[in-house]
């Protein structure tokens, strides 16, 4: 649509207001051609194809539509008449193809698929930039899109690297100095929101004009414009490099018209009323219609209209002026449009009234997918050639209106999609505002933690692998978290604001649900404490920061159910993420809190460190999905033996997450009871909602087999992991062994009480192999 309303092709542009044959009329020929539109269409497609192919050497390579502007003086010399010239231009302007030689290939391909096929963002950008580059006769182009970072900072992310167009070789065409210049220009365009047109880069102090590529490529001229959405926000920047010369040795520069054309390509129209008005204004001069009205049906009822877009055409000699009139629906006769709305067919009629003819065409606008009528286009009162009377619309006019209806339908569907997106965006912003308010700690809480004297790590016992938060007052749990960050020197090294750290810790605590038995704030603190006790000097400072943040946030807003339950119950989380739904949700909520005003503890990091930390946090949190861990365990174990660093972070996250199995026996029994309570509650839901038998660990009927299931859990998951990480966390391995013995003893007692011979054989096997790990995968 940006191309459709480019200034080059405006119905009122100077080039198109010129008509060959002014003062020479061929009414009979024109009338015959209008009445035989099929022949006329085919004939002038052939004639225009001849004109383009024979006159092409007169201009540089460009878009198939570019010759309309460049060749117009030559085309005017062809033996034709005013209406035929209009038809020639219109046939080239229209996007819907009849054969391969008509229309812009990129736009035709894009619109042929309609809204059902738009490709990826990158593919769409590549097509648009290539098309615009050819239209402007540029030698190269590039495009970057805006990315919002932490704290709302906007940065440019390269989508299309500086790439040659047309006659130049494909691929990257820029040296490092070239790239610095282009980045500087795009940064200025992003900051100002205004285009930048450099007609001679050698005069720009940011660029060393003597440094060329090995191929001799040199940036001479640059045109850069912002890409804006309908709210006027800059969402990207596009750059055109070097206007092609015409072969006479002179250096061509990008003109103000190039700037307008490129901006028109990149801007999004602010309202669909404006879009439809421009589309209607394009067709009116060619049909000689006095009025064009677009009726929008009411959403409440299908037999009335809620809005109208009404345009009037005033003839001014050989040109015309289009006015958009604000009209009340009651002022316009909707009867013919209603008939079209009901019949869903084009209506073409004329009637005589007191010696004059009233002519009218109504055409339905359909939804591309549902085929429902979503609007009605109406042309009224076709002016005759002597301008003193009206005449009937012919089949050529009818076809033009039907073509207009296709694009009106696309515009309306686009407008509806934008409206839905805007409503959802607004809803999300409101939700985030409410969430931020309720999840953020009260100012009194923040001040109390900020002013509190934080106990030492020794007095809090957070250096001990046997640390237990059971019975620890709530205020001490947050102070213990602060102590870990202080003792790891993270506050000082990463320039954290102490009040922000306090607010962040309290907000993270509020992010956990109190009604979840196990996956709550206490579990988060325990996981973080295990990581704190394990961290060694082999980790970089950024890794330590990322791992501590990840452990505290790794189960944020846990619902007390597993990923499989969320997927089976088709909850929104499953629809949003598809896999590792809970872990992705934990990470995104972690990001939300890190970006929340007053909790931005990473604001002191440079851009690169910030990106690195977030990437490590995400990988660490996603690593706590046990399904993913089991799938990749053999790979982790193999890499651990080679002391490759990256997998250690994921394995330590899992080791910390499972560390409850290593706690002193009374604590381990208490935690196991909480886990069983959570698992059995999910099993009860599965029985009730899905009418299925839950897996053993979630089946309440197996509650008496809890000791045996704990032994199985240790042997299959925990013991192999802690054995591989023995050098890092030997106390956890020893604690795991002791608890295995305790659970095995309880299981044996249960076997003796219930005389379950089959189970006793299995338990004996476990007992004999208690010092062995599972076979390595």
Active site residues: 519
Q: Are 534 and 729 in contact (CB under 8 A)?
A: yes
Measured CA to CA, the distance from residue 245 to residue 59 in angstroms comes to: 10
Place of tokens 């061509």: 252
3-state secondary structure of 92: helix
Binding residues for AMP: 519-523, 555, 657, 710
Burial per residue of 465-474, b for 16 or more beta-carbon CB atoms within 10 angstroms, e otherwise = bebbbeebee
Place of tokens 């649509």: 1
Distances (CA, A) of 543 to 619, 650, 659: 11, 11, 20
Binding residues: 519-523, 554-555, 657, 710
- The H-assigned helical ranges of 232-309 are 256-266, 272-287
User: How many residues can be counted in the chain?
Assistant: 777
Phi, psi for 667 (deg, rounded to 5): -70, -40
Place of tokens 């015409």: 246
Phi, psi for 399 (deg, rounded to 5): -65, -40
Phi-psi bin for 198: left (phi > 0), alpha (psi -120 to 50), beta?
A: beta
Place of tokens 């047309």: 166
Binding residues for Zn(2+): 523, 554-555, 657
Longest Cα pair distance anywhere in the chain, in angstroms?
114
Q: Are 449 and 475 in contact (CB under 8 A)?
A: yes
**Cβ neighbours of residue 601 closer than 8 Å, sequence gap 6 or more:** 494, 496, 497, 500, 501, 504, 594
Residue 330, both tokens: 């009651």
- For residue 416, the Cα-to-chain-centroid distance in whole angstroms is 18
- Report, in this order, helix, strand and coil percent for the chain, each rounded to 5: 55, 15, 30
Going by C-alpha positions, the residue among 9, 154, 147 that lies closest to residue 91 is 9
Instruction: Measure the CA dihedral 518/523/524/530, to 10°.
Output: -150
Which CB contacts under 8 angstroms, 24+ apart, belong to 625-628?
625/563, 625/580, 625/582, 625/583, 626/654, 626/717, 627/563, 627/580, 628/580
Q: Are 550 and 542 in contact (CB under 8 A)?
A: no
- Nearest 5°: CA angle at 30, between 24 and 33? 155
Q: 468: which DSSP letter?
A: -
Measured CA to CA, the distance from residue 383 to residue 391 in angstroms comes to: 6
Q: Are 774 and 765 in contact (CB under 8 A)?
A: no
Q: Are 84 and 25 in contact (CB under 8 A)?
A: no
Measured CA to CA, the distance from residue 724 to residue 634 in angstroms comes to: 11
Residue 661, both tokens: 């199995």
3-state secondary structure of 195: coil
Q: What are 319's strand-pairing partners?
A: 316
Instruction: Measure the CA dihedral 310/316/319/322, to 10°.
Output: -20
- For residue 734, the Cα-to-chain-centroid distance in whole angstroms is 48
Measured CA to CA, the distance from residue 317 to residue 591 in angstroms comes to: 64
Residue 60, both tokens: 């540089």
3-state secondary structure of 716: helix
Measured CA to CA, the distance from residue 734 to residue 720 in angstroms comes to: 12
Q: Are 590 and 621 in contact (CB under 8 A)?
A: yes
């Amino acid at each position: 649509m940006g191309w459709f309303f480019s200034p080059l092709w405006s119905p009122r542009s100077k080039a198109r207001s010129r008509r060959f044959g002014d003062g020479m009329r061929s009414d009979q020929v024109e009338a015959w051609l209008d009445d035989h539109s099929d022949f006329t269409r085919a004939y002038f497609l052939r004639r225009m194809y001849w004109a383009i192919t024979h006159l092409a050497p007169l201009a540089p390579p460009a878009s198939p539509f570019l010759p309309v502007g460049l060749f117009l003086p030559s085309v005017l010399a062809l033996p034709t008449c005013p209406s035929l010239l209009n038809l020639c231009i219109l046939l080239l302007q229209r996007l819907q193809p009849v054969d391969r030689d008509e229309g812009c290939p990129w736009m035709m391909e894009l619109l042929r698929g309609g809204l059902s096929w738009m490709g990826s963002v990158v593919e769409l950008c590549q097509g648009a930039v290539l098309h615009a580059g050819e239209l402007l006769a540029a030698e190269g182009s590039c495009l970057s899109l805006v990315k919002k970072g932490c704290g709302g900072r906007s940065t440019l992310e390269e989508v299309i690297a500086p790439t040659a167009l047309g006659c130049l070789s494909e691929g990257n065409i820029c040296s490092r100095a070239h790239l610095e210049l282009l980045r500087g220009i795009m940064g200025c365009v992003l900051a100002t929101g205004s285009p930048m047109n450099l007609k001679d880069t050698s005069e720009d102090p940011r660029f060393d004009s003597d440094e060329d590529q090995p191929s001799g490529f040199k940036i001479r001229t640059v045109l850069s414009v912002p890409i804006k959405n309908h709210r006027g926000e800059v969402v990207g920047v596009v750059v055109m490099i070097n206007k092609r010369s015409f072969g006479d040795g002179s250096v061509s520069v990008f003109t103000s018209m190039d700037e307008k054309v490129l901006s028109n390509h990149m801007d999004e129209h602010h309202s669909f009323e404006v879009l439809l008005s421009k589309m209607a204004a394009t067709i009116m001069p060619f049909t000689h219609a006095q009025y064009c009205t677009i009726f929008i049906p009411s959403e409440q009822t299908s037999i009335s209209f809620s809005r109208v877009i009404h345009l009037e055409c005033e003839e001014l000699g050989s040109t015309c002026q289009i006015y958009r009139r604000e009209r009340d629906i009651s002022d316009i006769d909707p009867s013919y449009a209603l008939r079209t709305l009901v019949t869903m067919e084009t209506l073409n009629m004329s009637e005589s009234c007191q010696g004059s003819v009233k002519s009218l065409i109504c055409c339905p606008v359909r939804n591309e997918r549902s085929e429902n009528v979503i609007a009605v286009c109406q042309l009224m009162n076709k002016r005759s050639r002597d301008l003193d009377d009206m005449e009937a619309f012919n089949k050529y006019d009818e076809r033009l209106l039907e073509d207009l209806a296709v694009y009106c339908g696309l515009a309306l569907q686009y407008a509806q999609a934008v409206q839905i997106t805007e409503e959802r965006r607004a809803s999300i912003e409101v939700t985030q505002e409410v969430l931020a308010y309720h999840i953020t700690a009260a100012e009194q809480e923040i001040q109390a933690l900020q002013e509190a004297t934080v106990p030492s790590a020794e007095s809090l016992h957070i250096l001990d692998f046997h640390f237990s938060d059971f019975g620890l007052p709530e205020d001490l749990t947050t102070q213990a978290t602060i102590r870990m960050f202080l003792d790891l020197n993270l506050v000082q090294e990463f320039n954290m604001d102490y009040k922000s750290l306090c607010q962040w810790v309290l907000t993270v605590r509020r992010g956990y649900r109190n009604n979840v038995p196990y996956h709550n704030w206490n579990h988060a603190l325990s996981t973080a404490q295990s990581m704190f006790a394990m961290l060694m000097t082999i980790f970089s400072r950024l890794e330590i920061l990322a791992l501590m943040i990840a452990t505290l946030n790794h189960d944020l807003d846990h619902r007390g159910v597993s990923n499989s339950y969320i997927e089976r119950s088709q909850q929104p989380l499953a629809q949003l993420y598809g896999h590792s739904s809970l872990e992705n949700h934990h990470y995104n909520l972690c990001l939300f809190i890190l970006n929340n005003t007053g909790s931005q503890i990473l604001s002191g990091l440079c851009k690169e460190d910030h990106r690195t930390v977030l990437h490590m946090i995400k990988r660490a949190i996603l690593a706590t999905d046990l399904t993913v861990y089991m799938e990749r365990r053999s790979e982790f174990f193999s890499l651990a033996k080679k002391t490759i660093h990256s997998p250690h972070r994921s394995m330590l996250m899992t080791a910390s997450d499972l560390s409850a199995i290593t706690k002193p026996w009374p604590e381990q029994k208490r935690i196991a009871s909480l886990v069983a309570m959570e698992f059995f509650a999910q099993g009860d839901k599965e029985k009730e909602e899905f009418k299925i038998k839950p897996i053993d660990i979630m089946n309440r009927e197996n509650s008496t087999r809890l000791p045996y299931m704990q032994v199985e859990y240790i042997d299959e998951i925990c013991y192999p992991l802690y054995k591989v990480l023995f050098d890092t966390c030997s106390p956890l391995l020893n604690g795991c062994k002791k608890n295995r013995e305790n659970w095995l003893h309880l299981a044996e007692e249960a076997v003796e009480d219930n005389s379950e011979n089959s189970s006793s054989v299995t338990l004996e096997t476990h007992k004999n192999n208690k010092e062995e790990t599972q076979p390595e995968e």
